[in-house]
Structure 1
Amino acid sequence: MIKARGVHHIAFSTADMKKQVEFFSDVLGMPLVAIFPMHGVPGGIHCFLEGSAECLISFVQLPEIADIAIEYGKTHAGSGSLPSAPGTLQHLALVVDTDDELLALRDRIRSRGVNVLGPMDHGMCRSMYFAGPEGLSLEIATSDEPVDPKHWLDPEAAAEVGITPAMMERMAKPDAFDRPAEPVAQPPYDPAKPHMLYPKPVYEQLLAMSDQQLWDATRFSDPPVK
């Protein structure tokens, strides 16, 4: 079945890329694999650190970010048990393969002077919690086996957020999708749907472009270092 099968990368805003890269590299052992001017964004710098070949952590530094204040309860949660604004990242959980690796990484983090709480047993995983630079709420987790929906789809919890049993069954088994012979056309603009934030004329122009036109206009395939 065609589906999104995981996270390629997750990107955080930063006012201090050097500090973030130092933390994720030295404290968490993730190698820096890319840093370059952000494609199509004047003044932006983009970097990537590798958890695995298919899992990257990214930071974006733009000149304006330094002027935006961190506000706990709005821009940041501060921990895995506290709120932040809708649509913001409440916490990030990274993964290791075994309990031994979890404990080894706990000791590595603590050896760098960073406090760690855990591990804690959540049944579906064992986790530990700590903070990163600029207010990041971080977790490391490990599991013995995939999450079993039979045991972890709680109808009472679902009902609290407005999900009925019928809806939960549908969400647990999304409809299959067979790619048609011809590409699906860009749908008409619908204000009720989610949209990216662009100046209105720019967004209208982007939506009016064909997929090939957009591909040709936004190619940045050459690496910065040759």
Structure 2
Amino acid sequence: MINLKRIHHVAYRCKDAKETVDWYQKHLNMELTVAIAENEVPSTKAPDPYMHIFLDAGMGNVLAFFEIPNSPDMGRDENTPQWVQHIALEVEDVDALVAAKNDLQALGLDILGPVNHGVFKSIYFFDPNGHRLELAANTGTTEQYDELKRVASLMVEEWSKTKIAPTHAAWLHELDD
């Protein structure tokens, strides 16, 4: 049986490694911890130079990016809505979320939210590569999270048969802002 410890890193593509490092340092206070560059892909041996950067997202979480200059320009899956693919990062509480929104707006970013998701609130914005970012602050109780866990499998099973949103957790959208 596999026993996972945590996510080692999550990697995305970037247009420019230096611009990406600078942006994440300035806007999200993330530290560059590792940079790896090769002229050949280690796993495939393909001759394809790249820069692979690793940023500290706190508590052992790592967000990584690849700049691959010999590939066609970055795009996105046009069949997937922009709101679906995103990187969500947690902040301490709602006060920290509001402060982050104010700080990011002062740096010229367009921010959506806070949006109330019942057991957490979020703000949304984009990095210079077009990746959607979410900052989230948990607001739920232990009982609420326990109930969500209890109904999760039931909801997935119902969804797999009907493709209609199950109502087991509809109470999330009835909570006050």
1:150 aligns with 2:137: no
Q: 1:142 to 1:3 in 2, by over 3 A?
A: farther
Which ranges in structure 2 are unaligned for 5 or more consecutive residues? 163-177
- TM-score, normalised on structure 1? 0.58
Aligned equivalent of 1:78, options 75, 82, 85: 82
Question: 2: distance between equivalents of 1:149 and 1:64?
Answer: 48
Q: Greater Rg, structure 1 or structure 2?
A: 1
Match of 2:102 among 94, 107, 111: 107
How far the C-alpha of 1:69 sits from its partner, in A, is 4.4
Match of 1:12 in 2: 12
Quick one: distance in 2 between partners of 1:6 and 1:162?
31
Q: Which residue of 2 aligns with 1:140?
A: 135
1:60 corresponding residue in structure 2: 66
Q: How many residues get paired?
A: 152
Q: Which amino acid aligns with 1:101?
A: A
Change (3 A) 1:8 1:108: farther
Task: Spell out structure 1 runs of 4+ moving beyond 6 A.
Answer: none
Q: Which residue of 2 aligns with 1:172?
A: none
Give the corresponding residue for 1:85. Answer: none
Report 1:85-100 matches (<5 A): 90-100=85-95
Structure with higher RCO (Cα < 8 A, 6+ apart): 2
Q: What is aligned with 1:51?
A: 57
Give the counterpart letter for 1:54 in structure 2: G
Distance change >3 Å, CA 43–CA 151, structure 1 → 2: closer
Cα distance change on mapping 1:19 and 1:161 into 2, 3 Å: farther
TM superposition shift of 1:91: 1.2
User: How large is the Cα RMSD of the aligned pairs?
Assistant: 2.7
Unaligned runs of 5+ in 1: 81-89, 164-226
State the partner residue of 1:210: none
1:133-171 per-residue CA deviation (whole Å, 9 max, x = no partner) reads 2221110111145672423535356412249xxxxxxxx
Letter in 2 for 1:46: H
Q: Deviations over 1:76-100 (max 9, x none)?
A: 64224xxxxxxxxx11111111112
Give the TM-score normalised by the residue count of structure 2: 0.72
CA contact (8 A) 1:126 1:142 kept: yes
Q: Give per-residue Cα distances to partners, 1:97-134, cap 9 Å, x unaligned.
A: 11121112112211110011111111121111111122
User: What residue number does 2:174 align with?
Assistant: none
Q: Given that residues 114 and 121 in structure 2 are in contact (C-alpha distance below 8 angstroms), is that contact kept between their aligned partners in structure 1?
A: yes
Percent identity between matched residues is 25
Verify: 1:22 aligned to 2:22, yes or no.
yes
1:36 Cα deviation after fit: 2.6
Equivalent-residue separation in structure 1 for 2:158 and 2:67 (angstroms) = 40
Residues of 1 paired with 2:132 and 2:77: CA distance? 11
